Structure 1
Amino acid sequence: MNTATAVKAATAGTVKLTIRQWATEDRPSVKLQMYGVKSLSDAELLAILIGSGTSKNTAVDIAQNLLDKFDQNLNNLGKARFDEINDVEGVGTSTACKVLTAVELGKRRQNAMAALKPDMGTATRIYNYMLPKMMDLETEHFYILLMNNNYRLIKAECISMGGLTEVSVDVRIIMREAVLNNATIMAICHNHPSGSLHPSKYDDMLTQSVKKACEVMRIHFADHVIVTDGCYYSYAEQGRV
């Protein structure tokens, strides 16, 4: 009996099929081994983390409920707190810890790849590098990206953290870090937790202040990139630096 037939039979009665009662080729762990990890849906991947179901729901059912809570969006799930995940029926403390661990490992892998002195020569590359660091922040964080003559990253450092809509930045600190790290090219970057791509008046003023300071120190000011989830604003691309 294949899984579809078994599900119909179970639905007609009162028996709830466990994953072990599914056709072998339909079980998430078997599919992974036979066809590779990319063959699995988001729910099936989560089901492997969850491990076992309950008397009411299979691990896949629980995974689907978890995804439903976060609008079927893994990015939303990645921002979730422990208590929000643990609140889903069938998700216990151990499972919530596993899900958060998997999310964090994904972020750390991105950071590890980015640690190879990447090329920061375009706004897109700056955005791709900074997004893992900024995507889940609830307040504004301001970073400087210090580079050599080939736009290879020397150092990315957060020099200020602020509120929901603004962060205070001291240009003197920015220039000191640039000089100490022998940077010849610099970009600045901060996030907008609100999701707005529109620079504020303070953003404009800060951009001009940093640009003028770089001119005095003979450091090329490459860009000011504003990061949101899924988008960015680049002063360079807009012809404003």
Structure 2
Amino acid sequence: MESYQHLSIKEWALEDRPREKLLNKGIATLSDAELIAILIGSGSAKESAVDLARKILKDCRNNLNVLGKKSVNDLKAGYHGIGEAKAITIVASLELGRRRKLTAGEDHSKITCSKDVSAIFQPILGDLHHEEFWILMLNRSNKVIAKNKISQGGLAGTVIDVRLILKSAIDHLASSLILCHNHPSGNVQPSDADSKITKKLSEAGRIMDIPVLDHIIVTDSDYFSYADEGMI
């Protein structure tokens, strides 16, 4: 690719242009940088869209989860050639990817351990800048009936309504619940507030005969399970 350093993408060999490469060779053959270059559309006088995409990825340690945490303003301020429209396109595309993960796995998969729960929620919650509190509702065979977002907060936490959670479980005829929320700080250890709400919901669930089986805390790279630690 060295010979293309000062050429625009339109001047590259046909097979090396990201859009043409996608059409001729399939989307799986494109690198992350080439996919982002398609979103960007064009670079600047000094660098191609692919070069610009590589620079963005390098700054994100070549990690799409890190890129997913960038805001429109982060992208606009950090890169020459990325205006508001291009930044919005990148952010919107990554959000679509997150929402695709959100709808994945809704095939009544069976929960057998905490790792199964983290596999559902880590892609959804792991790279968020704010806390969200979700519940996973299970039938008597521990198969997933539904997952619902109960609340959304700032960096410090969310507000949890026990009645809302139990109503959702009753509406879905759930036999049991698993709680889940994220820690944007990256610290996976539960807070006193986390433990208090876990205890409160567990007690309410016992009264309603809808036991809380676990409470999972996720970050972008790790998770904590109350059940695994014998705390529920």
TM exceeds 0.5?
yes
Task: Verify: 1:126 aligned to 2:126, yes or no.
Answer: no
Answer with 206-215 or 162-171: which moved more: 162-171
The structure showing larger relative contact order (alpha-carbon pairs under 8 Å, at least 6 residues apart) is: 2
Aligned to 2:37: 47
Give the deviation of 1:180 after TM superposition. 3.4
What is the rounded CA distance, in whole Å, between the counterparts of 1:137 and 1:70 in structure 2? 15
Task: Output the TM-score relative to the length of structure 1.
Answer: 0.82
Pick the aligned partner of 2:57 from 59, 64, 67. 67
Question: Runs ≥4 in structure 1, deviation > 6 angstroms?
Answer: none
- Percent identity (aligned): 39
Provide the residue aligned with 1:171 in structure 2. Answer: 162
**Counterpart residue number, 1:229:** 220
**Offset at residue 182 of structure 1 (A):** 1.8
Residue 218 in structure 1 maps to residue 202 in structure 2? no
SS at match of 2:104: helix
Give the one of 102, 127, 133 matched to 2:93.
102
2:28 counterpart residue number: 38
Cross-structure match for 2:176: 185
Specify which of 23, 29, 39 is matched with residue 19 of structure 2: 29
1:60-111 deviation line (CA, Å, top 9, x unaligned):
1121222234333211211211122223111233322321232122122222
Alpha-carbon offset, residue 55 of structure 1: 1.9
Paired residue secondary structure (2:68): helix
Distance change (3 Å), C-alpha of 1:32 and 1:172: closer
Distance 1:195 1:181, change over 3 A: same
Deviation at 1:163?
4.5
Q: Is the Cα–Cα contact under 8 Å of residues 40 and 49 in structure 2 kept in the other structure? A: yes
Q: Distance in 2 between matches of 1:131 and 1:146?
A: 17
Q: Secondary structure at the match of 1:79?
A: coil
- Whether the aligned pair in 1 keeps the contact of 2:130 and 2:152 (CA below 8 Å) is yes
1:13 corresponding residue in structure 2? none
Q: Name the aligned partner's letter for residue 74 of structure 1.
A: L
Out of 78-87 and 155-164, give the one that drifted further: 155-164
TM (normalized to structure 2)?
A: 0.85
Distance between the aligned counterparts of 1:223 and 1:184, measured in 2?
13
* Alpha-carbon separation, structure 2, partners of 1:177 and 1:52: 47
The one-letter amino acid paired with 1:55 is A
Residues 112-138 of structure 1: CA deviation (Å, up to 9, x unaligned):
224444434432222222234323433
Q: Structure 1: 5+ residue runs without aligned partners? A: 11-15
Match of 2:149, SS? strand
For 2:131, the aligned partner's letter is: E
Corresponding position of 2:75: 85
In the aligned structure 2, how far is the partner of 1:167 from the partner of 1:237?
24
Q: CA RMSD in A?
A: 2.5
- Measured at CA, do residues 59 and 177 of structure 1 come closer, stay the same or move farther in structure 2, by a change above 3 Å? closer
Instruction: Report the 3-state secondary structure (helix = DSSP H, G, I; strand = E; otherwise coil) of the residue aligned with 2:189.
Output: coil
Counterpart residue type for residue 70 of structure 2: A
Q: 1:172 to 1:165 in 2, by over 3 A?
A: same
* 1:141 counterpart residue number: 132
Pair 21,180 (structure 1): closer, same or farther in 2 beyond 3 Å? closer
From the CA coordinates, give the structure whose radius of gyration is larger: 1
Counterpart code for 2:76: N
